[in-house]
Structure 1
Amino acid sequence: MADSSATEASTRRRRAAGRSASLLPVNGQPEAAFLGSAPANVRGGRGQAKRDRSLETARSDCHRTQESLLSSASGYNNYRGILNWCVVMLVLSNARLFLENLLRYGILVDPIQVISLFLHDPYSWPALCLVIVENMFILVAVYTERQLSKGSFSERVGFLIHCTNMAIMITFPAAVVLLVPSITPVGGASALSLYTILFLKLYSYKDVNRWCRELSTIKVKKLARSLSYIYYFIFAPTLCYELNFPRSPKIRMAFLIRRLFEMLFFTQLLVALTQQWMVPIIQSSMKPLEDMDLSRMTERLLRLAVPNHLLWLMFFYWFFHSSMNFTAELLRFGDRQFYNDWWNSETVTYFWQNWNIPVHKWCLRHFYKPLLRKGFSKIVSQSAVFLLSAFFHEYLLSVPLRMFRLWAFMGMMAQLPLAWLVGRFLRGNYGNAAVWISLIIGQPFAVLMYVHDYYVLHYRQEAE
């Protein structure tokens, strides 16, 4: 009897639980829809009071003080979807331009043609011979420093030898490029670029050894470094000399192969896009430039801006990330900060300080700070840095092209007033947009000017 009574009680409890469950929200309908039919003993109690209060709160707190997401005061910064949209639109628009280019011009990519940019005669390699001569300047600098460390040369004599060596290092290759007609513009620019890098490296080599002698903290025998160490510095991806460079523990073969693959891939891509995209636009721009048709010149400039900027971005990645990391990994060079977040630049000055870290470190260490120590103001020292940069930009363009138009020089010096205007009147995103516009528009303008002048100076004279 007791067992049967317990069984009946258990059955009644399960039925009561089932009836209570039937009062819960069904199919997502609000609980209030069932309150009218619920028994008083189910709606009552502390739990039901809490539910009633939560329902009243939900009905009354529909609005609160808040900003729209696109307002700067909202603090919202997750624009990943908009960024993805921009990427998709960029890909689609460029795909249309590329398809239009193929339909109009056909396939213009010719890898064999690139060889002619470096060589007129396959049996003559004047630019390569010019590069080999660089070793003479390296040996002179090393010999001079060794004599200075031994006391065989006075500081004045060593200074004069270094100055003479570096002056010849700048003038000699320029004279060869100008006087030897078999050197092509691309070959001459490549040779002069290597001479410019060597000039900056040997200048740093001279300064650091002089500083060590002045401080008298390094023994004489430590300053007379081996020739292999000097050549390590010559090939290392840095312009600033040190007695001891940071070294990585080992060579990572997987990392090295990835960088090598990127170098090969982007080299082919740069050549293909230049031939297929850039060259037709430049050729079609000659007539508007000769006629001084302002509207068509502007249209050609804007057409050239997109492929030119895209190629510049690819070159940046190819050189500063792939190539320099490949060289650093091969030499186990530890300092891999070749660039900083220049794409976030809100001022022109920040861009020039962060897009090319090796050059920035050299300018800061061997040019800007020495001028400050000599009593020059920051404005004068900064202007001197831009003046030096403008000289080398013009040197690397005018000499290989064998014409002097000063477009690169004026473009670099124009960065000074531009930096003042952007820093004075623009802030945040507006400053960043101004930096991007100067990069996208300024470079193709200089390209058009040099190409037009080169065409007028050479090809039109040949046609006449």
Structure 2
Amino acid sequence: MHSAEEISDATGAVSTGSDDTLSSSATTNRKTSTSGANGAEGPIVVKKEKKRSKYRHVAAYHAKVRHSSLTREPNVTASFLGFRNLMVIVLGEIDLASLARALLLGKCLYSFFFASVAMNLRLIIENFMKYGVLICIKCHDYRKQDVVLGSILFALVPYHLFISYLIELTASKQAKQVVGQRKKNGSAEAAERDQRTFRLTWWLSAFFHCINTLLSLGVTSFVVYFYIHHPGIGTLCELQALIVSFKICSYAFTNRDLREAMLNPSMESALPEIYSSCPYPRNITLGNLIYFWLAPTLVYQPVYPRSSHIRWSFVAKRLFEFFCLTVFIWLLSAQYAAPVLRNSIDKIAVMDVASILERVMKLSTISLVIWLAGFFAVFQSLLNALAEVLRFGDREFYTDWWNSSSLGGYWRSWNRPVYLFMKRHVFSPLVGRGWSPLAASTVVFLVSAVLHEMLVGIPTHNLIGVAFAGMLFQLPLIAITAPLEKIKDPSGRVIGNSIFWVSFCLVGQPLGALLYFFAWQAKYGSVSKMEV
């Protein structure tokens, strides 16, 4: 799941200001003196002793200005070879020679769009002849209670970040008092007392941070599951609660280690150079917290790389893209996905396997287009617009996941904010404490599986374990496709990339959508009032 470079990074103590961290073996010097035969003092012998240092949650993963892969910047180039494999899988009959020429001209995405329209034009006409126009703005059951409760949750959940700020502010004041007392009394007993005080402060802070995080996530999940009927509103509320919970955890862990580095300055507690402009506890301010709350990242740093100015034309373009793609997703869902889902209910009820597979294949193209549009809308358009307004410099919200030759490569590249959080605060600390990379990766996927089930099952009021099982099923697929990453022959990478597209986008997503829709129908009936 993780490359060798990342595994070696994981045991590092601190960050040097890039994605890499320092070696986990810090070298300490021990000075000893010897006496000669004449009683004179001999030379000082310096012995180097390797000491394993504890991993610290302060790695500066955002250390330089970077652009998104699909952004048109002078120094940004992207390869779209993975979409070629997708076209062959989805379209089947395609002129590969024309595709190769399109690739050389850098028009892969446009070719994919026009080829998709041409190959699916029959399905579009068939859908219109069979169902007519299904798009209806007033045909959705947005209850007043859903809107009111959703708005209240959206307004109140961010206050949990403010509570975490108060916890850290109290801890920082206590740390400053310890530093002041140490200057007056630098005895060994005082140092030991300071260590006990630090540990007590951390345990108290950790306790209150845990309560704060659990309340943020627990109260939101309870209200969404029992009182917000519409899954769309519920998903937005649950997603916000998860994001805030991630940020609280990162804020707490990072400041804990920054506080320890201030109280115990040493070679092992050296901090990334980028943090020098805002040392602890100067970063414990309301403005610093608000910036982290709004910033398109889940990893807290006292300082982030910043762009020089705001390009408002860039912001307008990205917001226009986001609006258009949101409307496009809604149209596809209402006109094409909804009929396929409804017509699948009776097939699933009688376990007609052949018909279910046919529905999965029919839904796969629609869900794939919706998923690609959703990815572009969120990670390219919305996050880049937000980053531009905040002058957030590191725009690498994703890398070229479409070219992934293994499932592990995909999970490392498609959602970088979550990946960096898991790497910094879950995977790397576990490896640094002696866990094997395989065991740490398993823990990461267990946590991800639980969070995926919460994000899907709670808003749909059906905790049936499909999302949980789907995430765990990624582990054997990662093990199977991992060797393909190391094959130098291009055919190996093509095979791995094809396995990724088929397993994740053409089978996993539509099957999951069918099962959750069936569970919803069995419990409540359709969200839409329209009968097809």
Matched, 1:323 2:382: yes
Q: CA deviation at 1:169?
A: 1.7
State the partner residue of 1:23. Answer: none
CA distance in 1, matches of 2:342, 2:521: 10
AA matched with 1:200: F
CA distance in 1, matches of 2:151, 2:514: 29
Q: CA deviation at 1:176?
A: 1.4
Instruction: Describe how 1:43-442 pairs up with structure 2 within 5 A.
Output: 79-81=100-102, 88-113=114-139, 116=141, 119-121=142-144, 125-151=148-174, 154-180=201-227, 182-216=228-262, 220-225=280-285, 227-424=286-483, 427-438=492-503, 439-442=505-508
User: What secondary structure, in the 3-state scheme, does the structure 1 residue paired with 2:144 have?
Assistant: coil
State the partner residue of 2:183. Answer: none
Give the gaps of 5 or more residues in structure 1: 1-75
Q: CA deviation at 1:85?
A: 6.9
State the partner residue of 1:16. Answer: none
Q: CA deviation at 1:424?
A: 4.0
8 Å contact kept, 2:361–2:506: no
From 510, 514, 518, the equivalent of 1:444 is 510
Give the gaps of 5 or more residues in structure 2: 1-96, 176-199, 266-277, 486-491, 527-532
More helix by share: 1
CA distance in 2, matches of 1:277, 1:311: 11
Q: CA deviation at 1:179?
A: 2.9
Between 1:215-224 and 1:263-272, the stretch displaced more is 215-224
Distance 1:163 1:106, change over 3 A: same
State the partner residue of 1:19. Answer: none
Q: Give CA-to-partner distance per residue, 1:349-395, whole Å, 9 cap, x none.
A: 00000001111111111110000011100000011111111110000
CA distance in 2, matches of 1:219, 1:252: 30
8 Å contact kept, 1:347–1:435: yes
Q: Point out the structure with max Rg over C-alpha.
A: 1
State the partner residue of 1:459. Answer: 525
Give aligned pairs, total: 380
User: What secondary structure, in the 3-state scheme, does the structure 2 residue paired with 1:447 have?
Assistant: helix
Between 1:245-254 and 1:300-309, the stretch displaced more is 245-254
Q: CA deviation at 1:213?
A: 1.0
Q: CA deviation at 1:219?
A: 5.3
Report the TM-score when normalising by structure 1.
Answer: 0.78
User: What secondary structure, in the 3-state scheme, does the structure 1 residue paired with 2:245 have?
Assistant: helix
Q: Give CA-to-partner distance per residue, 1:325-362, whole Å, 9 cap, x none.
A: 01111111111101101011001000000001111111
8 Å contact kept, 1:289–1:452: yes
8 Å contact kept, 2:406–2:484: no
Distance 1:305 1:201, change over 3 A: same
Q: CA deviation at 1:183?
A: 4.2
Distance 1:455 1:419, change over 3 A: same
Report the TM-score when normalising by structure 2.
Answer: 0.68
What is the root-mean-square deviation of aligned Cα atoms in Å? 2.2
Q: CA deviation at 1:91?
A: 2.1
User: What secondary structure, in the 3-state scheme, does the structure 1 residue paired with 2:298 have?
Assistant: coil
User: Which one has more relative contact order, counting CA pairs under 8 Å at least 6 apart?
Assistant: 2
User: What secondary structure, in the 3-state scheme, does the structure 2 residue paired with 1:401 have?
Assistant: coil
Distance 1:123 1:156, change over 3 A: closer
8 Å contact kept, 1:126–1:183: no
AA matched with 1:257: A
